[in-house]
Homo-oligomer: A and B are copies of this chain.
């Protein structure tokens, strides 16, 4: 009675499907709270930044040529022609032989082309300074437009806003900005053996873990989790929950028992959703082979394995990029850098399958080691102990102890 449960989809094809889903809508947000959001408009500078030549030091605005030849032993003498007020257009002009007091951030007056640091001067009296150094034109000055010239294409839509991006947007005069709406992700846990976290399980039952791991993971990658609770393994209640979740969310994640019966039921329910199409039914990966991806009404519907570690690995590798994609992010601009490490034991794999192995990252004397955390994917402990994943490719039969690997760290 050996049975081919499903034919698998190449992982490249999965990412193709993912890139085909549309981004959520756009909303306007207060720039003060825009950190981490995904920009939904282009930002082009409509001003020069700064809008004027600015001093970067406390000192005197001077004509550089007046300082040529000045030294400790042979100081130049300049007349003080006034003071620059912060935030004001200077009302003085620096003519040859003159200098104007200026503080860091002050606007350079007409005539001046450099700033002499106060440390390199001495005030002889209220009207005259000695200058001990020479400065070149432009010294200690940020030129008008030196930071950002007008009409610079600064940011494209799809960029994740770090602090610096919000700063540049503020400099452009936008206190509100268009960002993509955070995608709302419906979560349904299925399984007759599941009870809620606040219940005491009867013998044979266990508490629902996936709703919590998925909810946190969704939140931490920029989505809004919405739990539709634990649903029994029956068509009617599961279909009702899936339809409601699909109506109300931008994506639905069902995670169920890993039995064939539950998988078949999940497929049946997804197929019954209006306009649905099964895209993926099985992946050549371990853990997570029984993963389902479908489309219904333009929304992605994921069926994740019930095993807690399998569900988390598939989330990390496939669902997270999908959430980021529908959240408007382009090229996953929140860069995740892989951690180079040395493998601490042999790992076997099989050709034709990608293995995602949970590893702990241990640093010893400046070298990073990747220690595989072995154990069935039903054990949450394997994820608790892990810092990230390493990938063993389709064409590999395994990795040897001592191999240099790249760990994809769990970054939240």
CB distance from A75 to the nearest CB of B (A): 12
Which residue of A87, A142, A147, A379 has the most chain B CB atoms within 10 A of its CB atom?
A87
Per-residue interface assignment for chain A, residues 54 to 80, with 1 indicating a CB less than 8 Å from any chain B CB and 0 otherwise: 101010000000000000000000000
Complex CA gap A384/B168 in Å reads: 8
A123 contacts the other chain (CB 8 A): yes
Q: Judge whether A216 and B163 touch: CB under 8 Å.
A: yes
Q: Judge whether A171 and B380 touch: CB under 8 Å.
A: yes
Residue in contact with A306 in the complex, picked from B105, B165, B227, B376, CB distance below 8 Å: B105
CB distance from A148 to the nearest CB of B (A): 6
Q: Judge whether A212 and B166 touch: CB under 8 Å.
A: yes
CB-CB < 8 A to A126: which residues of B? Answer: none
Residue in contact with A216 in the complex, picked from B142, B166, B198, CB distance below 8 Å: B166
Complex CA gap A51/B154 in Å reads: 56
Per-residue interface assignment for chain A, residues 36 to 59, with 1 indicating a CB less than 8 Å from any chain B CB and 0 otherwise: 100000000000011110101010
Which A161-187 residues have a C-beta within 8 angstroms of B? 161-171, 173-175
CB distance from A25 to the nearest CB of B (A): 22
CB distance from A66 to the nearest CB of B (A): 19
Residue of B nearest to A162 (CB): B412
Q: Judge whether A58 and B335 touch: CB under 8 Å.
A: no
Which A95-146 residues have a C-beta within 8 angstroms of B? 103-107, 118-123, 142, 146
A344 contacts the other chain (CB 8 A): no
Q: Judge whether B378 and A209 touch: CB under 8 Å.
A: no
Complex CA gap A248/B213 in Å reads: 34
CB-CB < 8 A to A2: which residues of B? Answer: 119-120
Q: Judge whether A193 and B86 touch: CB under 8 Å.
A: yes
Residue of B nearest to A217 (CB): B163
Complex CA gap A308/B205 in Å reads: 56
A16 contacts the other chain (CB 8 A): no
**What is A's interface to B at a CB cutoff of 8 Å?**
1-3, 31-36, 49-52, 54, 56, 58, 85-90, 103-107, 118-123, 142, 146-148, 154, 160-171, 173-175, 191-194, 196-217, 219-220, 225, 227, 233, 257-262, 306-308, 312, 315, 334-335, 337, 339-340, 361, 368, 376, 378-381, 383-384, 386-387, 409-412
A104-B306, A335-B387 provided; 5 other pairs, C-beta below 8 A?
A1-B122, A56-B376, A87-B191, A171-B197, A173-B199
In order of increasing CB-CB distance, the 10 nearest A-B pairs are: A35-B216, A103-B259, A87-B193, A167-B213, A164-B383, A170-B212, A170-B197, A175-B198, A163-B217, A163-B216
